[in-house]
Amino acid sequence: MTTTGPLAIAAGSALAEAVDAATELLRGRRVAVLTGAGLSTDSGIPDYRGEGAPRRTPMTIQQFLADERARKRYWAGSHLGWRHFAATSPNEGHHALAALEAAGVTNGVITQNVDHLHSRAGSRHVVELHGTVSRVRCLHCGQIFARQDIAARMAEANPWLDAPGGVELNPDGDVTVDAVEDMVAPLCTVCGGTLKPEVVFFGEFVPGEIFREASALVQRADALLIAGSSLVVNSGIRLLQQALRRKLPVLILNRGATKGDARAALKIDAGASEVLSALRDRLA
């Protein structure tokens, strides 16, 4: 393990030593946790920014609202991807964090992921910064629908829309679809308004009440653990900065560089699930 100032980066044979250091850093402290896409890769969900990730231009909220064809394209791809997204299961990293919360080591999880896997793994206090694909909201009346109910309506209205074998799932749970002329997009059954999955699109802000809930976890913590996030998205950086202002020690677990590495007390360059499982065994 090599060290530069307060930063230690571990890989290969130095991993055990790095886990020892992480254990000592967190022991006796109440830990807030922030997770990103790198935690869900072990569940088969790809990462936007990890090494080898394809270059993508996700649909913005402005495109979704302004263009009916864009909405059809989004819903067609989202429907196909939902079947694969919903079939994924929590991995050892998710289960390790649930165990750490149950043991009182962490005060919950703040996640940038929309896959709902933390809750399915048993974590009880989960702040979904960017929402979840498991719910759909009407943009006009605010009615909320379960995603499986919308999926059933989509399948009935679009019998031609069936996922082919080997479909490529995107990180936000959709599939790229271009031929959408015959697509029937779902509408609100209460008011006939436009429906949108309850996720934060590119170009949208994290709802203020959600960010305040996330911020409160950091405020009540003695340390911040960041797992599987490159910290490119502004919401993650803001929480990191909040922890640093309070002089909390920060542990980052991520394959590859992050925007917070230079300010971390410890950085472990390794798979999040592997390290989190080791920390669970030592701390829970």
Spatial distance between the Cα atoms of 123 and 30, rounded to a whole number of angstroms:
16
- Residue carrying structure tokens 């996720």: 199
Please, are residues 161 and 139 in contact by the beta-carbon 8 Å criterion? no
3-state secondary structure 17-78: HHHHHHHHHHCCCCEEEEECHHHCHHHCCCCCCCCCCCCCCCCEHHHHHHCHHHHHHHHHHH
Spatial distance between the Cα atoms of 79 and 133, rounded to a whole number of angstroms:
10
User: Looking at the DSSP assignment, which residues form a beta bridge with residue 137?
Assistant: 144, 196
Active-site residue (options: 84, 116, 130, 140): 130
Spatial distance between the Cα atoms of 89 and 111, rounded to a whole number of angstroms:
16
Q: Is 130 a catalytic residue?
A: yes
Q: List the strands of the sheet with 144-146, edge to edge.
A: 144-146, 131-138, 195-199
Residue among 63, 85, 87, 84 nearest 196 (CA) = 63
Spatial distance between the Cα atoms of 36 and 41, rounded to a whole number of angstroms:
10
The catalytic site residues sit at 130
